Chain A
Amino acid sequence: MFDFISFIPRAVVQGIPLLLGSTGETLTEKSGNLNLGIPGIMYVGAISGVIGSFFYEQSGNFRPLPGILIPLGCCLLGSLLMGLLYCFLTVTLRANQNVTGLALTTFGVGFGNFFGGSLIKLSGSSLPSIILSATSNAFRTSLPAAEKAGVFGRLVLSYGFLAYVAVIIALTVAWVLNRTRVGLHLRAVGENPNTADAAGINVSKYKYIATCTGSMIAGLGGLYYVMDYASGVWANDAFGDRGWLAIALVIFTVWRPNVGVLASFLFGGLYILHMYIPSGMNLAVKELYKMLPYVVTIIVLVLSSLRNKRENQPPASLGLAYFREER
């Protein structure tokens, strides 16, 4: 019998970094910026948080509130800087978005590994990792009611606060995009910047704000991964390909963060499904299971292209720089 009660919470904690990453990327793409730097930004978000918390833990007396706020602030700052760099290159200087994004990813991973390595040296640990258990405990604190509430408690109440924040952010972004004037303007910028400009919308401002906010949300995904999912253990390259999976999730959800909430849990489940297959099975089959999230994304891409519904297509000017006097 498949153990759903233990599977679902694990799928959810797997899914939260993807949810944050894809919400950030959706917000960014809605402004017409295809930010392929998301994996790098999540990496930078994670390591910035680790750096903050490392020095705070080193300083001695640890208290939970600053223990959460310091890494959180560092993470937001680090990913904001990455977002600003991306915007400066693609919006102000109108550099190619794909090239810039890929460069940021390469840079972000290198940045993370470099400082990760430095911190490991500083800590003098014999293991190739940093363990921030105090901070992690603060991040992982769940409601006391979780343990008393039985199955419901395990499935719904057992997560650290960032998981709930992630869901709230996703739903808020969806609401802003579809129900508010700011969202309408942002969609117009991503669809047709010429039109938005002629309607008096400041295209550059919207692109900057959406992309930077998106980067910070994605950065939180990296922080959640280290502090909550990985129990405060930073090891170089452990974050893996989750950043790319977050971008795949954007396509999977057809640019809808509210769909992303459940879709990310599904992706999280698919991501760990290989651990739940009967132990007797061939190892090669296990590798096939790891492909599932990507296979599903391709299928969704094919289906949504086949149906060719205009609402399900990427923003029309995605990936293009905007210059008002270009003809």
Chain B
Amino acid sequence: MDNKTPAVKMRNITKTFGPVVANDKVWLDIYRGEILALLGENGSGKTTLMNMLSGIYFPDEGEISIDGKDVVIRSPKDAFDLGIGMIHQHFKLVDVLTAAENVVLGLPGKLDLKAAAKKIREICDAYGFEVDPEQKIYDMSVSQKQTVEIVKVLYRGADILILDEPTAVLTPQETDKLFAVLRNMRDDNKAIVIITHKMHEVEALSDRVAVLRHGQFIGDMPTKTTNAQEMTNMMVGHAVTLNIDRPEPVDPKPRIVVKGLTVRSIDGILKLDDVSFTANSGEILGIAGISGCGQKELLESIAGLQPVEKGSIEYIGDDGSAEQLIGKDPLAIQRMGVSLSFVPEDRLGMGLVANMDLGDNMMLRSFRSGRSVFTDRKTPRQLALDVVEELDVVTPGITTPVRRLSGGNVQKVLVGREIASAPTVLLTAYAVRGLDINSSYTIYDLINKQKKNGVAVIYVGEDLDVLLELADRILVLCGGKVSGIVPGRGAKKRDVGMMMTKLGGNAHE
């Protein structure tokens, strides 16, 4: 590697947003024929750094050179001209346009969609993608959209590709497919940078790792010479244990009993089909399944947000009395101690108001309490301070609007608030979606703490490895049906994966 000249050299790059220093004198080299994994905690400035390379932001200080030549990247167009293409975490696609129209967007010359479609098909054949150039973006799945993004940068002849958390929204199968494509591109002598939080992906895919912490460059090394523990320590700045605690459930008693739950979406599609299970107090029930298999509907039915076609959901109180939750007002269910924290793909979609500050967002849960006609602002402010302190939220203060925080920090605020409402049942979906490893572990700890307090936790996760380490029992959904319930201890990833894709997995063959 020493004999090669870097494709991209970034030197002393500094970028500030108001009082926040996002990048502080960062050095980074990117080589051709190599996959570089860029690591760092949430808000450590990885995306900012890459945005400067792709022309979205302009650095306050520092130099960038491409293939040994000093360059100034003022706009995304400059970046394209230099062969730099970035696939953003939030896809940059226009929904009402077709794939082909999105691909040619911003290019000069006469509009010839037929020729474009032909070239797209050629690119797809070369790297093994599947894209229909005529299909509209809003008809596509997340993984298809991502493919369009990749085709888009390849179409422009990019040979330096940056992918910002590309696997955050993909299923394991889709991830494998993406990795195969990325390896193809590396062998094609392209330079590839991938930002990710998932250590096993870093180890499986990358050739070199570079670590940022609090906007500063900490170091880089070949992936072969390092391991997950060392990388995590570099990211966090101190030693962290990478084992998820799984205490034995204490005195589990049935808390939520679901029988024959059937839910249809507004379009009449069957979302949940005859689902039955029991969630015990003091236990974590993990829910596994390919995304869109009814996880959201299941949680929302329990929280009273989803009309139910048939079936029953009973809440068993401490004294053994059963109460039917179906037909109850969500507010009443919430008062019984059932708390829902759903982290949607876009994080801000549900649960937080982007333009309100941290304290006010905390208040969304509590504004109805209190005796006088005035709202109580003190308690939520204190809660905001606690969450910031406890979960290390990077923010200038609790009066900052939530939308100014980086994605992971937004999420800490949401999850922190839900857990703090001291529930008896905690429903949480994708609690660590897009979170860095350190914050993820903080969240796992918090969930475990709730479990020890006797809360029945229903945890919908996308990372199967974590689910297998955290949950006491795992319920596997497949196409809205219960594919099986397995104990978390001793469950095999392969078996659960099979059950996710096929009812009952291998068991019934």
User: Does B88 count as interface, using CB distance less than 8 angstroms?
Assistant: yes
**Given the known A-B contacts A191-B96, A191-B97, are A325 and B17 also in contact in the complex, defined by CB atoms under 8 Å?**
yes
Can you identify 28 A-B contacts, CB atoms within 8 angstroms?
A180-B111, A181-B111, A184-B101, A184-B105, A185-B106, A187-B96, A188-B94, A188-B105, A188-B106, A191-B94, A191-B95, A191-B97, A194-B92, A195-B93, A195-B94, A195-B105, A199-B106, A200-B75, A200-B76, A200-B77, A200-B80, A200-B106, A201-B105, A201-B106, A310-B96, A316-B96, A325-B57, A327-B403
Write the chain A residue with the least CB distance to B86: A198
Write the chain B residue with the least CB distance to A183: B111
User: Does A179 count as interface, using CB distance less than 8 angstroms?
Assistant: yes
In the complex, A172 Cα to B496 Cα: how many Å? 58
Say whether A199 contacts B105, CB under 8 Å.
Answer: yes
Enumerate B399-438 residues with CB–CB distance to A below 8 Å. 403-404
Write the chain B residue with the least CB distance to A190: B94
Q: Collect the chain B residues with CB atoms within 8 Å of residue A187's CB.
A: 94, 96-97
User: Does A98 count as interface, using CB distance less than 8 angstroms?
Assistant: no
In the complex, A271 Cα to B54 Cα: how many Å? 53
Say whether A310 contacts B80, CB under 8 Å.
Answer: no
Interface string of B82-116 (1 = CB under 8 A from A): 00001010001111110001101111111100000
Q: How far is the CB of A317 from chain B (nearest CB, A)?
A: 10
Q: Collect the chain A residues with CB atoms within 8 Å of residue B136's CB.
A: 310
Q: Collect the chain A residues with CB atoms within 8 Å of residue B88's CB.
A: 198
In the complex, A313 Cα to B107 Cα: how many Å? 26
User: Does B56 count as interface, using CB distance less than 8 angstroms?
Assistant: yes
Q: Collect the chain B residues with CB atoms within 8 Å of residue A188's CB.
A: 94, 97, 105-106
Say whether B57 contacts A196, CB under 8 Å.
Answer: no
**Most chain B Cβ neighbours within 10 Å, of A188, A191, A198:** A198
**Given the known A-B contacts A198-B76, A327-B403, are A181 and B96 also in contact in the complex, defined by CB atoms under 8 Å?**
no
Q: Collect the chain B residues with CB atoms within 8 Å of residue A324's CB.
A: 56
Q: Which of B17, B105, B109 contacts A185 (CB 8 A)?
A: B105
Write the chain B residue with the least CB distance to A201: B106
Q: Collect the chain B residues with CB atoms within 8 Å of residue A304's CB.
A: none
**Most chain B Cβ neighbours within 10 Å, of A185, A188, A200:** A200
Say whether A310 contacts B138, CB under 8 Å.
Answer: yes
In the complex, A14 Cα to B76 Cα: how many Å? 47
Say whether A196 contacts B106, CB under 8 Å.
Answer: yes
**Given the known A-B contacts A199-B105, A200-B75, are A192 and B92 also in contact in the complex, defined by CB atoms under 8 Å?**
yes
Q: How far is the CB of A23 from chain B (nearest CB, A)?
A: 20
Write the chain A residue with the least CB distance to B354: A327
B residues sitting closer than 8 Å to A (CB atoms) are 17, 54, 56-57, 75-77, 80, 86, 88, 92-97, 101-102, 104-111, 136, 138, 403-404
Say whether A192 contacts B106, CB under 8 Å.
Answer: no
**Most chain A Cβ neighbours within 10 Å, of B93, B105, B107:** B105
Write the chain A residue with the least CB distance to B138: A310
Q: Collect the chain B residues with CB atoms within 8 Å of residue A192's CB.
A: 92-95
Say whether A184 contacts B95, CB under 8 Å.
Answer: no
Q: How far is the CB of A96 from chain B (nearest CB, A)?
A: 14
Q: Collect the chain B residues with CB atoms within 8 Å of residue A241's CB.
A: none
Enumerate A191-225 residues with CB–CB distance to B below 8 Å. 191-192, 194-201
| B interface SS class | loop
In the complex, A199 Cα to B80 Cα: how many Å? 9
User: Does A311 count as interface, using CB distance less than 8 angstroms?
Assistant: yes
Q: Collect the chain A residues with CB atoms within 8 Å of residue B80's CB.
A: 200
6 nearest CB pairs, A to B: A199-B106, A200-B77, A195-B92, A181-B111, A200-B106, A199-B105
Q: Collect the chain B residues with CB atoms within 8 Å of residue A179's CB.
A: 111
Say whether B111 contacts A197, CB under 8 Å.
Answer: no
Q: Collect the chain A residues with CB atoms within 8 Å of residue B404's CB.
A: 327
Q: Collect the chain A residues with CB atoms within 8 Å of residue B111's CB.
A: 179-181, 184
Write the chain B residue with the least CB distance to A181: B111
Interface string of A162-196 (1 = CB under 8 A from B): 00000000000000000111001101100110111
In the complex, A196 Cα to B102 Cα: how many Å? 9
Q: Which of B77, B92, B95, B108 contacts A310 (CB 8 A)?
A: B95
Q: How far is the CB of A198 from chain B (nearest CB, A)?
A: 4
In the complex, A180 Cα to B101 Cα: how many Å? 11
Question: Could you list 11 further interchain pairs (A-B, Cβ under 8 angstroms) beyond the known A187-B97, A188-B105?
Answer: A181-B104, A195-B92, A195-B94, A195-B102, A197-B76, A198-B54, A198-B92, A199-B92, A199-B106, A201-B106, A313-B96
In the complex, A324 Cα to B17 Cα: how many Å? 13
In the complex, A316 Cα to B93 Cα: how many Å? 12
In the complex, A195 Cα to B103 Cα: how many Å? 11
**Given the known A-B contacts A191-B97, A198-B56, A198-B88, are A184 and B138 also in contact in the complex, defined by CB atoms under 8 Å?**
no
In the complex, A188 Cα to B484 Cα: how many Å? 46
Q: Which of B54, B75, B104 contacts A184 (CB 8 A)?
A: B104
In the complex, A324 Cα to B56 Cα: how many Å? 7
Q: Collect the chain B residues with CB atoms within 8 Å of residue A327's CB.
A: 403-404
Q: Which of A197, A201, A311 contacts B96 (CB 8 A)?
A: A311
Q: Collect the chain A residues with CB atoms within 8 Å of residue B106's CB.
A: 185, 188, 196, 199-201
Q: How far is the CB of A93 from chain B (nearest CB, A)?
A: 20
Q: Collect the chain A residues with CB atoms within 8 Å of residue B101's CB.
A: 184
In the complex, A43 Cα to B390 Cα: how many Å? 60
In the complex, A179 Cα to B113 Cα: how many Å? 10
Q: Collect the chain B residues with CB atoms within 8 Å of residue A316's CB.
A: 95-96
Q: How far is the CB of B261 from chain A (nearest CB, A)?
A: 28
Q: Collect the chain B residues with CB atoms within 8 Å of residue A191's CB.
A: 94-97
In the complex, A195 Cα to B97 Cα: how many Å? 12
In the complex, A201 Cα to B92 Cα: how many Å? 13
Interface string of A292-327 (1 = CB under 8 A from B): 000000000000000000110100100000001101
In the complex, A311 Cα to B98 Cα: how many Å? 11
Q: Collect the chain B residues with CB atoms within 8 Å of residue A184's CB.
A: 97, 101, 104-105, 111
Q: Collect the chain A residues with CB atoms within 8 Å of residue B17's CB.
A: 325
Q: Collect the chain B residues with CB atoms within 8 Å of residue A201's CB.
A: 105-106
Say whether A199 contacts B97, CB under 8 Å.
Answer: no
